[in-house]
Amino acid sequence: MRILITGGAGYIGTELVYLLEKEKAISEIVVYDNLSRKNFNLLIGKSKLTSKKVRLVMGDLLDSRKLKTKVEKADVVFHLAAKVTTPFADYNPHEFDQTNNWGTAEFTYLIENSKVSKFIYVSSVSVYGASEKELNINAIPNPKTFYGISKWNAEKHVQRLQNSKLDTYILRLGNVYGYSKSMRFDSVINKFMFEANFKNHIRIHGDGNQMRSFIHIKKVSSLLKNLLFSNLQPNTYNLVENNYSINEIVDVLKQIYPDLEFTYLTQNMNMRSLKVSSDSRINSLCETKESSLLDSLLEFKREFSF
């Protein structure tokens, strides 16, 4: 089995590669990445990779000619490549639209005319916009940011494939957190952990009561790997573990760092909330054991060098 992973050198991609590389049924893993985030960590240092089945192809999602040559040889495709930011950020509309929307549009055309048997697209709960009520998979998407709009438009291109014989999955992820060799420190929990550990001070936008949906990186990578060998019905799924307010996260951080200082910025502003329920149809594919936020962040803390 040959695997193609767009954005494979990124935060999620790195952990997924480590898991897939151990599978005997997989003969080749192509990591297709433009390394725009300077995410070289999968490629350097002491590696967990033990075979020669993984190889890097430096390329852009918008380079259809180059990407086509890799799609033609793939049996399964994980589409992780995207212009990524925190769910409520609202800038660089052109970049989001070009990469996430039109890049995915061109990519689905290539997939449509290939021998790929399974296509897995990683989207975001940002497509739902904002809600004080907890939303489930039946909620109508209503994105509020350029990022969310671009991911929702990308989903529409992928949905065309769901009407074909190709097994196509759309996974709407919550805010991913947790230690990885290829860290993202722009997501809220990861950013808070870094600042708490090295600065002993975090900054909170709004009054901290805004809710967010979260999922641990280990759960994401485990589920993606298991989906490869699963007979799960092709469909759209929410991949969320828990919903926390920013203040709830801060309370846990204070247990880990008792002297932690924090400042509320624009405290008078009402920040948007988004709560999304866990999707029981797909959660059973995850092998990782459940753990509290406190335990997860204590494990995270142990990965810091000092």
Q: What is the pLDDT of residues 84-111, one digit of tens each?
A: 765 445 566 778 888 899 999 999 999 9
User: Which has the minimum average pLDDT: 22-31, 267-276, 296-305?
Assistant: 267-276
Answer yes or no: are the C-beta atoms of 168 and 119 closer than 8 Å: yes
Q: How far apart are CA 300 and CA 252, in angstroms?
A: 13
Answer yes or no: are the C-beta atoms of 221 and 258 closer than 8 Å: no
CB neighbours (10 Å) of residue 141? 19
Nearest to 257 by CA among 179, 206, 198, 214: 198
Answer yes or no: are the C-beta atoms of 3 and 28 closer than 8 Å: yes
Architecture, CATH, for domain 2-176+214-241: 3-Layer(aba) Sandwich (3.40)
User: Which has the minimum average pLDDT: 101-110, 214-223, 255-264, 266-275?
Assistant: 266-275
Q: For 119, phi and psi rounded to 5 degrees?
A: -125, 125
Residue 83: pLDDT band (50, 70, 90) is: confident
The identity of residue 212, as a single letter, is R
Q: Is 90 exceeded by the pLDDT of residue 223?
A: yes
Q: Which residues are catalytic?
A: 147
As a whole-number percent, the residues of the chain with pLDDT over 70 amount to 97
Answer yes or no: are the C-beta atoms of 29 and 3 closer than 8 Å: yes
Percent of residues in the chain assigned helix, strand, coil, to nearest 5 = 35, 25, 40
Give the pairing type, strands 236-239 and 167-173: parallel
CB neighbours (10 Å) of residue 44? 8
The identity of residue 172, as a single letter, is R
Angle between helices 146-162 and 104-112 (to 10 degrees): 10
What is the reported pTM? 0.94
Question: Tell me, what's the pLDDT at 162?
Answer: 86
Angle between helices 104-112 and 64-71 (to 10 degrees): 40
Q: For 200, how many CA atoms within 13 A lie in the half-sphere containing its CB? A: 4
Answer yes or no: are the C-beta atoms of 146 and 92 closer than 8 Å: yes
Q: How far apart are CA 207 and CA 270, in angstroms?
A: 7
The domain locations on the chain are: 2-176+214-241, 177-212+243-274+289-301
CB neighbours (10 Å) of residue 105? 15
Enumerate the β-bridge partners of residue 76: 3, 118
Question: Tell me, what's the pLDDT at 205?
Answer: 92
Give 177-212+243-274+289-301's CATH code, choosing from 3.40.1160.10, 3.90.25.10, 3.20.20.70, 3.40.50.300.
3.90.25.10
Question: Tell me, what's the pLDDT at 43?
Answer: 86
Handedness of CA 184, 189, 195, 198 (dihedral sign): negative
Question: Tell me, what's the pLDDT at 2?
Answer: 98
The identity of residue 18, as a single letter, is Y
Nearest to 241 by CA among 213, 222, 221: 213
Give the pairing type, strands 242-245 and 211-216: antiparallel
User: Which has the minimum average pLDDT: 17-31, 39-53, 241-255?
Assistant: 39-53
Task: Give residues with Cβ within 8 angstroms of 108, minimum separation 6.
Answer: 157, 158, 160, 161
Nearest to 29 by CA among 8, 46, 50, 45: 8
Question: Tell me, what's the pLDDT at 87?
Answer: 45
When pLDDT is averaged across residues 298-306 and rounded to a whole number, the result is: 96
